[in-house]
Structure 1
Amino acid sequence: MDKNAATDAAAETPTQDTAQEPPLAGRVALVAGATRGAGRALAVELGRAGATVYVTGRTTRERASEVGRTTETIEETGELVTAAGGTGIAVPTDHLDEDQVRTLVGRIEREQGRLDILVNDLWGGEHLLVGSVFGKRSWETPLADGLRILELGVRSHVITAALALPLLVRSDAPLHVEVTDGTAAFNRRYRENLYYDLAKNAPIRIAFGLGEELKEYGGMAVAVTPGFLRSEQMLAHFGVTEENWRDVIARQPDFAIAESPHYLARAVAALAADPARASRWNGKSTSSGELARVYGVRDVDGSRPDALAYFEEVRFSGKPGTPDDYR
């Protein structure tokens, strides 16, 4: 993207008028699974929009989760939310532990008296995928690894929703966001392994079901997905940083369509501030690219990537095109 295009993109991206109240001022959010990646960015962007954001995860400054990364902590996420203009409150929580989740929800109720936005971005199973899962039939996959994937990607979501929804429905406009990998349309293809396929399709059905249940409370649920996410963990996998991520393209051309975690996060923050959001999105699954088109959002570099469309049309269907055509 040239300098003029980047300038035009920045001008098109909505900016916060300091004379106006932030769109989510007074709102209380919980981002479950906010240690890194999309979860961290979602928390920061909700905070930037004025929300008080409770951020949870298993990696703290004293203890690492099974993911094994110590460079990002939940305390740091809370500090980033506050630095962005919101109020970040870090609560170390294992969302597979019902007592810990009950304690978390009780604290939010005690301190805020309400919960308006619940974001389920729980995962942390990347370390189980390469070697153990991808490229293997379900019966070749170590059962313990497969079941752990379902715990991390499904059971944690169900526990969190079940225990937080009684507080969420007290809001005048409850919003439940399920973060997953792929939309219902994109995931009509098998996601390489039975356990992973189940883990990434379950949140889509959770959003569909909860969308029906939240209607009578004036609320909604939606499943969202990033495209090719340039998370901290993905950058580390390729041995690059956010500053030189394009160096990977020579050996992994599809990475040219990659997006920063803040792309999806900006789009979700815009959705959360949309008074017509329920009529547009309730019960549906959508992507960062689709939301960005609707809300005029751009990524940190001023581009508007649509990775799902690129993979669908070019990589899977053979349409002539390059990643640049979808940015």
Structure 2
Amino acid sequence: MPDIVDDKSEQCIRFLLDCLDAHRKQHAGDDAPPPPFFLGLNGVQGSGKSTLVSLLKNKLESEPHNLSTAILSIDDFYLPHSAQQALAASHPQNPLVQHRGQPSTHDISLLKSTFNSLKTRHPVALPCYDKSAFAGQGDRTPETTWTRVNGPDQRSIDIIIFEGWCVGFRSLSAVQLESKWSAAVGANMKPAYAGRLGKLELESVTLVNEALRQYDEVTDMLDAFVLIDAEDTQYVYAWRLEQEAALRRERGSGMTDEQVVSFVNGYYPAYELYTEALRRGIFPGVEGRQLVFELGKDRRVKDVKKI
């Protein structure tokens, strides 16, 4: 895989421990121990999100912190293959739901119930999704393969890292959505337009935006948030091309460049719609709970800020 130049984990750990200390103080008067801490982490594709998540888990579980940590990926909450096929068939003209990825293609009921079990420290099995199933269309693995946590003979989970490309996205009002879509349609009339939103029907993006409202309950449960942002979201194309080229070298197979571009195209309209609000902060009226890394095209950190 391409090297990720900057190690962001130390800054994340300091930020997380400060937020965790405030979390503990907030619950200091409670009769029961404080609830586990939920950290949301969003990174554009190819930004090094998975690398950072692994480093955070290793450091949090090691001395001197010794914090039991679980990683949840929003990818593991995709709809089962049969349900995804039914969704696609029910909206045949909407390219955004013909494959997994966009809001509306996740099992929100399962996501909420998993969060609630973790929050109350009840035993729960963490879902797993096999992206290679059905020739790459993907499917949920059998529940017998899921990792079980908070069992009677297990240490209770202290920190949950919830990561994914659309974690933290919040839906737009109908007026905001139409305004952004109309501007993109106008920009699409010009040769310089590099986005995808302006090539879609309003009905298609409205379906995804309406589905995203269901995710708010989960987003509201997050105690802190880390965003690995790109100075220009168009960098995601180059980063994913680099990743896939590395996979082809290592495994001898993988998506072609054309397939990679088509794959990213399916996600890109959401970046156009929701990145602006994500950069402003997902906790309106609350300061200090979000850390933002801005990366240049070389993946080096150009700026870090707490908002």
TM-score, normalization: structure 1? Answer: 0.34
Task: Compare relative contact order (CA 8 Å, sep 6+) and give the higher one, 1 or 2.
Answer: 2
TM-score, normalization: structure 2? Answer: 0.36
